[in-house]
Amino acid sequence: MDNFGPITKFSDSDQTGARQNLINLLHFDQIDARLMTLKTAEAKTCQWFLRKLEYTGWMDAEKLQEHHGFLWIKGKPGAGKSILMKFLFSEAKESAKSIPNAMVISFFFNARGDHLEMSTVGLYRSLLLQIFEKAPDLRGVLDGLDYNAQRLIQEHGWQIEILKEILAKAVGALGNRTLTCFIDALDEGNEDQVADMISFFEEIGENAADTNTRLHICLASRHYPTIIVQRGFEVVLEDEKEHAADITRYIKSKLRLGNSNQAEALRSDILEKSAGIFLWVALVIQILNKEYAKGHVGALRHRLKDIPQDLDELFEMILTRDCENMQELRLCTQWVLFAMRPLKPEELYFAVHIGLGQSTLTSWDTDSISSDDMHRFVHSSSKGLAEVTKSRTPAVQFIHESVRDFLLLKDGKRKLWPTFGEQFAGHSQETLKNCCLAQIDAVQDINLPLTDRGDLKKNIQIKYPFLDYATTNVLLHSNQAQRVGVAQNTFITTFPLQHWIRLSNFFEKFQARRYTDQASLLYILAELNCASLIKVHPRAPDHFDIQGERYTYPFIAAVVLRNEDAIRELIHAILPNQPDALMHLRAELESKDNSGKTPLSWSAFRGHKAVVKLLLEQGAELESKDNSSQTPLSWAA
């Protein structure tokens, strides 16, 4: 799809404002969280990579036709790829300072982070933002976006195909500049998205090589059996002798044993047992240093022999070795695994304490509990397998993606939750929902005015750090629990709707998005796309009789907000339950909001092709006119 059309003439100030608005929409929270959280390489490590023939050849402009700008670093989970990539990125940035017209950018995928941190949409947004910051003249590629593309971006954010078009044009306009890009942890992104990204980069890499444009892309990932590049250099990290030498340096630096013969023997044993896995070494050294601090010097080699060589077995040992505070560990782990977004450390602190029934800890007394206390709590309650990011908005995540893999894909969940079986995800979502509900119930008497709030909202968020998250996500956790088979019928009928509406309205910034006191739960579920809860809501078959709120009907709300799951469930709710179902469905499809728009008109106006197709399949009328005499067809034109 080509989103570029004839350039509309604007004044210079209007054009600059339009560009800046689009650029502002590229930014997102945690955009550089993974990079900032990664440890810096130990002194004298990683230097060897700068001298490797594959690296120097990749940087050589004379060899662009040979490698099309690609270098791919591969390795086992925990081998140390990300630390190496951070080092290479930092070195390239430093070198670029003395090279005219050189730009260095990066993106580090993060499966433990927010959805944009693990998606190629986030990747393209981050890369473009860095390019526009370093080369302001390249912002001119935004001027060719047609009106529909700009409207789509303003209403729904940047779309992946538009981002790819803009990035391709920016690379095509580099001229005599050099663009070096480091992209880490491809395996932490969606595999289909990554495959599409590789194909896209191969295309622009080939074009760049043909036009002598200096584009260099360094990738790092686990071993990918299904995705390859046609041209490019490759390095397998654990096969490199210099990588083993780096691990030796790390062991010598971090293991607190001095230089005795026993210490040298122990270092040699650690290196041999590590099989090139840097993460294993880091965790084992922590264990051995604790033993050394207790005075158990003579038992260290025996302790090392007891430590499993397999990384997953090491995780299991760390999590279960002392059986202390296991409830705290389980709840902390569930929150890191299944939170709707990564929690801030203070949110996790109160979520866990509230979930454990400690009612005296529903609000934060900053004189008694410091932020440092909460950071230590993250480390202790996760037994060292979770950390706080060093980003502008700190968040809690696992220390490595292999921890999540162990818990979800391997045997970890059975070890910690032996009774959950195949319902692990559902029971976990139920647990998190109950934590949210407990926080909401704990503030029944709180006074929350919607006008003249001043600093009250900020003060409430400080005093009750978990309350905003709990309010925003309690229904979403319930929906996820229902989706995987944990029944929510009782929850729906007993949900404290009026109290929740007061809280939701208090935290909602925009007046138009707040609910009236008469808002129905079914309407709210349609807005939130909670299809699984809609399915078990007792009034779902009668949803065409419910009206009010900003989009009038639940069905129109689902359509306007592009909530396809909710749309399907609302349609399904009518069809099997009513003798005159088709007549009711037809009435629902032709229902109009205050502007006279039908669901089909809204879908055409918003450019929701999938929803338009779904509504047409159900018999929606193409010629229905709204208050401005526009039809769905005219909105689609």
Domain range summary for the chain, segments of one domain joined by + = 12-238, 241-307
The DSSP H or E segment spanning 55 is: helix 53-59
Q: Assign 150 a pLDDT band (cuts: 50, 70, 90).
A: confident
Structure confidence by residue, pLDDT tens digits, 518-557? 999 999 999 999 999 999 999 887 776 777 788 878 888 8
- In the prediction, which pLDDT does 579 show? 46
Residues 6 or more apart whose CB falls under 8 angstroms from that of 9 comprise none
Q: How far apart are CA 278 and CA 186, in angstroms?
A: 19
Query: DSSP readout, 244-262?
Result: HHHHHHHHHHH---TT-HH
Q: Extract the tokens encoding 614.
A: 């779904």
What's the CA angle centered on 29, arms 26 and 31, to 5 degrees?
70
Q: Extract the tokens encoding 598.
A: 């039908």
Q: How far apart are CA 127 and CA 183, in angstroms?
A: 10
Q: Assign 359 a pLDDT band (cuts: 50, 70, 90).
A: low
Look at the block and give the residue holding tokens 């954010």. Answer: 157
pLDDT above 70 for 182: yes
Q: Under a CB-based contact definition with an 8 Å cutoff, are residues 68 and 232 in contact?
A: yes
Q: Which of 383-397, 503-517, 623-637 bottoms out in mean pLDDT, i.e. has the lowest? A: 623-637
**Better pLDDT: 511 or 174:** 174
Residues 6 or more apart whose CB falls under 8 angstroms from that of 623 comprise 631, 632, 633
Nearest to 496 by CA among 526, 475, 511: 475
* CB-neighbour burial class of residue 235 (10 A; exposed 0-12, middle 13-18, buried 19+): buried
What rounded mean pLDDT belongs to the chain? Answer: 87
Nearest to 395 by CA among 336, 328, 437, 354: 336
DSSP state of 297: G
Q: 12-238 architecture in CATH?
A: 3-Layer(aba) Sandwich (3.40)
pTM (predicted TM-score):
0.79
Q: Extract the tokens encoding 588.
A: 């629902």
Mean pLDDT within 611-616 = 68
- In the prediction, which pLDDT does 91 show? 96
**Better pLDDT: 147 or 74:** 74
- In the prediction, which pLDDT does 367 show? 85
Q: How far apart are CA 547 and CA 552, in angstroms?
A: 5
Q: Which of 121-135, 200-214, 575-589 bottoms out in mean pLDDT, i.e. has the lowest? A: 575-589
Query: DSSP readout, 362-406?
Result: SS--TTTS-HHHHHHHHHHHTTTSEEE--SSS--EEESSHHHHHH
Structure confidence by residue, pLDDT tens digits, 370-395? 999 999 999 999 999 999 988 888 99
Report CA-CA distances (Å) from 601 to 156, 608, 623.
Answer: 17, 10, 9
- In the prediction, which pLDDT does 390 show? 84
Q: How far apart are CA 101 and CA 213, in angstroms?
A: 12
Q: How far apart are CA 146 and CA 160, in angstroms?
A: 16
Which CB contacts under 8 angstroms, 24+ apart, belong to 93-96?
A: 96/180
The DSSP H or E segment spanning 236 is: strand 233-236
Q: Assign 342 a pLDDT band (cuts: 50, 70, 90).
A: very high
Q: Under a CB-based contact definition with an 8 Å cutoff, are residues 173 and 138 in contact?
A: yes
- In the prediction, which pLDDT does 636 show? 63
Q: How far apart are CA 305 and CA 130, in angstroms?
A: 48
DSSP state of 454: T
Structure confidence by residue, pLDDT tens digits, 475-484? 999 999 999 9
Residues 6 or more apart whose CB falls under 8 angstroms from that of 575 comprise 581, 582, 585
Mean pLDDT within 9-15 = 55
3-class DSSP state for residue 207? helix
3-class DSSP state for residue 411? coil
Report CA-CA distances (Å) from 106 to 132, 134, 469.
Answer: 13, 13, 31
Strand partners, 74: 221, 236
Q: Assign 14 a pLDDT band (cuts: 50, 70, 90).
A: low
Q: Under a CB-based contact definition with an 8 Å cutoff, are residues 488 and 525 in contact?
A: no
Q: Extract the tokens encoding 110.
A: 């993060």
Q: How far apart are CA 49 and CA 577, in angstroms?
A: 67
In the chain, helix, strand, coil percent, each to 5? 60, 5, 35
The DSSP H or E segment spanning 319 is: helix 311-320
Nearest to 262 by CA among 310, 232, 313, 297: 297
Nearest to 466 by CA among 489, 446, 443: 443
- What one-letter code names the amino acid at 19? R
pLDDT above 60 for 581: no
pLDDT above 60 for 586: no
- In the prediction, which pLDDT does 577 show? 54
Q: How far apart are CA 358 and CA 140, in angstroms?
A: 56
Residues 6 or more apart whose CB falls under 8 angstroms from that of 172 comprise 204, 207, 211, 213
Nearest to 275 by CA among 467, 75, 517: 75
Q: Is the backbone of residue 274 left (phi > 0), alpha (psi -120 to 50) or beta?
A: alpha
Q: Under a CB-based contact definition with an 8 Å cutoff, are residues 602 and 155 in contact?
A: no
3-class DSSP state for residue 155? helix
Strand partners, 233: 71
